[in-house]
Amino acid sequence: MVKFLLKLQAELSNVTDLEPVDTVDSPFEYTFQIECTKCRTTHDKNISINRFEKHEISGSRGDASFVFRCKECKNESSATIERTKNVFTIEDKKWIPILEIDARGIDFQQFIPLGLFKAVGLDTNTKFNDIEIDEGEWYDVDDKNNEEVSITEVKWEISRS
């Protein structure tokens, strides 16, 4: 079993507490590029995992958030994901882990940030619940104080924990 951390770094302006919209009613689909650790084949399609789904691992070895059979070597792999308690705040300047990944037989190569994120206005507590940062930036206006809010220089890193 290998543990990975999905980490976020960004420049926030007039917003704070950036995190994925990830609830039972609206689960975030974490999208990744993966590689089989047995044959080192990179899967040709991105995969999506949500932390609320559970799939049975063959051989009655429990369940996981994602179960995958490599089309090259036929090896079965699995991963379980859990959100950390972290949110990215305006004060953060370093990488902040937002997701823990327990992987068996899979290397997580790249995160693709498809889906909605949320943040809060720094001085107004205005809720921004439909932030898309797949292009690496987001801009809006906080109607409570007529100030521009933004998230720029969004970077993602997957590291072994």
Domain extent listing, the chain: 2-160
**What local confidence, expressed as pLDDT, does residue 38 receive?**
96
User: Looking at the predicted structure, is the pLDDT value of residue 132 above 90?
Assistant: yes
Q: Is the Cβ–Cβ distance between 43 and 130 less than 8 Å?
A: no
Q: Is the Cβ–Cβ distance between 19 and 8 less than 8 Å?
A: no
Q: How far apart are CA 18 and CA 15, in angstroms?
A: 8
**What local confidence, expressed as pLDDT, does residue 1 receive?**
76
User: Looking at the predicted structure, is the pLDDT value of residue 15 above 90?
Assistant: yes
Q: Which two tokens stand for residue 147?
A: 């100030």
Q: Is the Cβ–Cβ distance between 32 and 46 less than 8 Å?
A: yes
pLDDT in tens, 19-77: 999 999 999 999 999 999 999 999 999 999 999 999 998 876 789 999 999 999 999 99
Burial string for 110-127 (b: 16+ CB within 10 Å, else e) reads ebebebebbbbbbeeebe
pLDDT in tens, 142-154: 999 999 999 999 9
Summarize the chain as % helix, strand, coil (round to 5): 0, 55, 45
**What local confidence, expressed as pLDDT, does residue 161 receive?**
84
Q: How far apart are CA 101 and CA 79, in angstroms?
A: 7
Q: Is the Cβ–Cβ distance between 73 and 55 less than 8 Å?
A: no
**What local confidence, expressed as pLDDT, does residue 154 receive?**
97
pLDDT in tens, 71-104: 999 999 999 999 999 999 999 999 999 999 999 9
C-alpha distances out from residue 33 to 21, 47, 102, 110, Å? 21, 6, 15, 5
